[in-house]
Structure 1
Amino acid sequence: MTDSPLMSRLDLNLLIALDALLTERSVTRAAERLRLSQPALSASLARLRVHFGDPILARRGNTYELTPLALRLADHTTIALEAARRVFESQAEWDPAESVREFSIYGSDYGFTTVGRVVSELAAARAPGVHIRFMLHNPTVVEDAANRLRSADGMVIPHGFLTELPFLDLWKDDWVAIVAESNEEVGDSLSREELSRLPWVMNYQSRSAFTSAERQVQQLGIEPDVEVVVESFLAIPHFITGTRRVGIIHAALAPLAMRAAAVRVVSLPFEPTPVTNALWWHPVHNQDPEHAWMRSLFQEAGRIVAAGEGG
């Protein structure tokens, strides 16, 4: 006999209650969220406290705070609950046209406005009940991708950030530089001297968050004068309009940038390495026919974007 309770003795409803308590940090709000009475949820909290040997919620004055253990449980609980949901939503036969499944995808605004938008259009036409939730990633999510992708369906991100996960190449894209239409210091192309002298708008700037083009600039011995860091590709043109600043964006975003702001595309003084955009997922989804259908949508959408038909 082991001292740990057997899985067969555990109640899955406790996982649902725990997730609500960790999210709401209040018995009252968690009960309202689950549409339960407060005494019923209090009873669940009591069982959880016995199971973990921890209060989970500790009173601090007029409020409750999560205990250190509860804070550690937060991410694990969300992942476990999502995994359980997927298990019980699985079907022997699956018809996309009849499905109401929601797929969750991490990515950047660049990925969402290119391949993501096309995927949403394909899904709407073929499976009107299917929903796709696009969630912005960040350096923390990318660094923890192997864990996060257990409960999410995928991540759209170029090669160079993730390893040892299944992936599907979608399309390749180039880099272009943009400056303000009013910038008379720059002609049709940028020189290395101008890249060094002019102020920059950069997207990310840390050891774990960077673009390959920005890394190439530094490898050429140019240390950019970074005036603005904005974690959004679509926002970069707005920080360049009417200034001396320069920025580098994906070629697929150039038409959007010029429609959204008073900027123009100029050539770079080096040949930027193209990016290969890919969809990544956790191996737990490999044999899921619904997930395979979703992957096929991304593959088709990647071909559309590569052909320039997704603008």
Structure 2
Amino acid sequence: MNPRIREIDAIDRKALANLDLNLLVSLHHLLRERSVTRAAQRMSLGQPALSAALARLRRHFGDELLTRVGNHYELTPLAVRLRSRTETALAGVERVFTSEPVFDPATSQATFRVLGSDYAMSLLGGRVGRLLAERAPNVRLRFELHTPSVIDRADEVLRDVDALLLPHGFLNDLPNLDVFSDSWVCLVAEDNPHVDEELTMEQLAELPWVLTYHSPSAFTPAARQLQMLGVEPDVRVVVESFLALPSFIAGTNRITLTQAKLAPLLTAAGEVRAVPCPYETVPLVEALWWHPTHDSDPEHVWLRSVFAEAGEQLFGATG
């Protein structure tokens, strides 16, 4: 081994040996609560013990972390950056120490973290939750919303989370599993005077739009296809939520695109209605993506089977 590498490795081992994992837990609660008193209550510790932990953390980072402003504390810029990193680190530590030689879902206490859109969560979340309750009552699932920045850094993000629910067309060269397929419809206000039972291509160019995730690296595939057909939507509102679309459509002459399987939920209140797209849209295939390091992990293999089964139960086999 290169002597320089051995030297760095020795320094890393020494640094880790001097760390106390209890400080990570203290840091997590201090940054979340922004109060020594509340954090101590959360941890069932005395306030002096947590004050001592905060002092050690301040020495370690060379930063105050919590600064008093009036009668409350605020996070320093470093503490703001550490907050999400601490949550990720704790989840990783928990994953390490709850690992088992043979994965038994009936007794496992594993925690899985999956990122996705509110669209994917709304369609799949309930069924996945029921399967977990039936087969793995002690397993916990953290279903969190992704963002365009997460998708841009998917290779990096998937090192810290178990999976990402995302349609094909955004990621490459990562293992994935198709979960279900979908198509697209247009959404208009129930009382939109400009639209009868169908939209025309001319109306797509003339009427104002609400779009989801509208940026060069984040977009609705059917909307990008529309641009390729020579129609540039007049975008008035951009929202990073599919479930919020009716709020921006109802009572206006705006239009949008949404997934056909989600449309019944969005139109249930009667304020908006779905109409066919006047062009043949590219089908959407929602997939579960993960980092290659999880390929042979028994826990992860089981998790993937749950999502695949949930998709098949709800919508039938893909492909």
**Aligned pair in 2 of structure 1 residues 182, 47: CA closer, same or farther (>3 Å)?**
closer
Q: CA deviation at 1:182?
A: 3.2
C-alpha separation in 2, matches of 1:69 and 1:257? 41
Q: How does 1:126-145 map to 2 (within 5 A)?
A: 126-145=135-154
Give the AA of the match of 1:70.
A
SS of match in other structure, 2:195 = coil
Does residue 149 (structure 1) correspond to residue 158 (structure 2)? The answer is: yes
**Aligned pair in 2 of structure 1 residues 253, 70: CA closer, same or farther (>3 Å)?**
closer
C-alpha separation in 2, matches of 1:245 and 1:188? 15
**Aligned pair in 2 of structure 1 residues 185, 204: CA closer, same or farther (>3 Å)?**
same
Match of 1:185 among 194, 202, 209: 194
Q: CA deviation at 1:242?
A: 4.1
Does residue 215 (structure 1) correspond to residue 224 (structure 2)? The answer is: yes
SS of match in other structure, 1:94 = coil
Match of 1:250 among 250, 253, 259: 259
Q: What whole-Å deviation, never above 9, does each CA across 1:231-259 have from its counterpart, x for those lacking one?
A: 32223234334432222111111222332
SS of match in other structure, 2:261 = helix
Identity %, equivalent residues: 54
C-alpha separation in 2, matches of 1:89 and 1:25? 29
C-alpha separation in 2, matches of 1:42 and 1:144? 36
Q: CA deviation at 1:153?
A: 2.2
Give the AA of the match of 2:186.
A
Instruction: Supply the RMSD in Å over aligned alpha carbons.
Output: 2.6
Which residue is 2:41 aligned to? 32
TM-score of the two chains, using structure 2 as the length reference: 0.85
Q: What whole-Å deviation, never above 9, does each CA across 1:6-61 have from its counterpart, x for those lacking one?
A: 32232111111122222223322222221211111122222223333333334445
Which residue is 2:108 aligned to? 99
C-alpha separation in 1, matches of 2:11 and 2:36? 29
Which residue is 1:70 aligned to? 79
Give the AA of the match of 1:33.
R
Which residue is 2:60 aligned to? 51
C-alpha separation in 2, matches of 1:261 and 1:156? 29
Greater shift, 212-221 or 278-287, is seen at 278-287
Q: CA deviation at 1:108?
A: 1.3
Contact 1:154 1:280 in 2 (8 A): yes
Q: CA deviation at 1:186?
A: 2.6
Give the AA of the match of 1:117.
G
Contact 2:99 2:110 in 1 (8 A): no
TM-score of the two chains, using structure 1 as the length reference: 0.87
C-alpha separation in 1, matches of 2:41 and 2:283? 50
Give the AA of the match of 2:83.
A
Give the AA of the match of 1:29.
R
SS of match in other structure, 1:177 = strand
Give the AA of the match of 1:158.
P
Does residue 204 (structure 1) correspond to residue 213 (structure 2)? The answer is: yes
Match of 2:292 among 283, 287, 304: 283
C-alpha separation in 2, matches of 1:293 and 1:148? 21
Q: Return 5+ residue gaps in structure 1 as ranges.
A: none
Q: Return 5+ residue gaps in structure 2 as ranges.
A: 1-6
Moved segments of 4+, more than 6 Å: 1-4
Does residue 118 (structure 1) correspond to residue 127 (structure 2)? The answer is: yes
C-alpha separation in 1, matches of 2:183 and 2:242? 14
Greater shift, 293-302 or 232-241, is seen at 232-241
Contact 2:189 2:273 in 1 (8 A): yes
Does residue 306 (structure 1) correspond to residue 315 (structure 2)? The answer is: yes
Which residue is 2:4 aligned to? none
SS of match in other structure, 1:185 = coil
**Aligned pair in 2 of structure 1 residues 223, 83: CA closer, same or farther (>3 Å)?**
same
**Aligned pair in 2 of structure 1 residues 67, 262: CA closer, same or farther (>3 Å)?**
closer
C-alpha separation in 1, matches of 2:297 and 2:25? 24
Does residue 168 (structure 1) correspond to residue 159 (structure 2)? The answer is: no
Give the AA of the match of 1:278.
A
Greater shift, 117-126 or 256-265, is seen at 256-265
Contact 1:19 1:78 in 2 (8 A): yes
